[in-house]
Amino acid sequence: MIKDDIGKFVSAERPDPCTDLRLFQIVTKCMVHGPCGLININFPCMRYGQCCKSFPKQFKDDTEEKGNVYPIYRRRATEPVQVVKYSIYNRSVVPYNPWLLKKFNAHINVEVCASVKSVKYLYKYVYKGNGAASVKIQKKGALDHDEILSFVEGRYVSAAKAMWRLNEFNFSHRYHTVMCLAVHLPQQQPIVYQDGQ
């Protein structure tokens, strides 16, 4: 992706309240990480004295692409905004998409994933299955464990998944078999000899 394209879809800065007051209010309410660090060492993200989400981020004048990892988003050094009892800098703003934020008025973390690994990540979450919990009441001292019955009675199937299975739709499909073809330069075709030739 090009840096300008990243900026069209993802922002990691507070918007100008004079330009878009509603977006500014949502960002300061929903998209500010923390406060963590020395200000609040008991914040849930703190591990071994540091934020496990790497906040606060460094100030950056331009978005920087980093190959196969997340880009470093533009976070300009602007004056902080006082919200309740904390000062909010761009360093603490979680990346977001302005359109989604205004549409849902909620915390929506948006990151640019331009790596091949993102396909594996998406595939894993599409097919991870449902959450399940097994609950059973039995007499004290009785040992009667039927794994098949526990699976059938304790399994949770959502309405969407039940409809999908009842209509016998496929959960995934693959097509166009891929074959590796030998590549050669002009006038350099491979020659294969059989034993005894």
pLDDT in tens, 2-51: 777 888 899 999 999 899 999 999 999 999 988 888 878 888 889 888 88
Say what the pLDDT of residue 152 is: 72
pLDDT > 90: what percent of the chain? Answer: 19
pTM check: above 0.75: no
In sequence order, the 6+-apart residues with CB closer than 8 A to the CB of 190 are 182, 184
Q: Among candidates 49, 162, 26, 155, which has minimal Cα distance to 100?
A: 26
What does the block give as tokens for 129?
A: 């299955």
Report whether 109 contacts 121 (CB < 8 A). Answer: no
Domain boundaries, the chain: 2-121
pLDDT (tens digit per residue) in 98-154: 999 999 999 999 988 877 777 777 777 777 766 666 666 666 766 667 777 777 777
Q: What is the pLDDT of residues 157-187, one digit of tens each?
A: 778 888 888 888 887 777 777 777 777 788 8
Q: What is the pLDDT of residue 131?
A: 62
The verdict on whether omega for the bond into residue 190 sits within 30 degrees of 0, i.e. cis, is: no
Provide mean pLDDT across the span 57-83.
Answer: 84
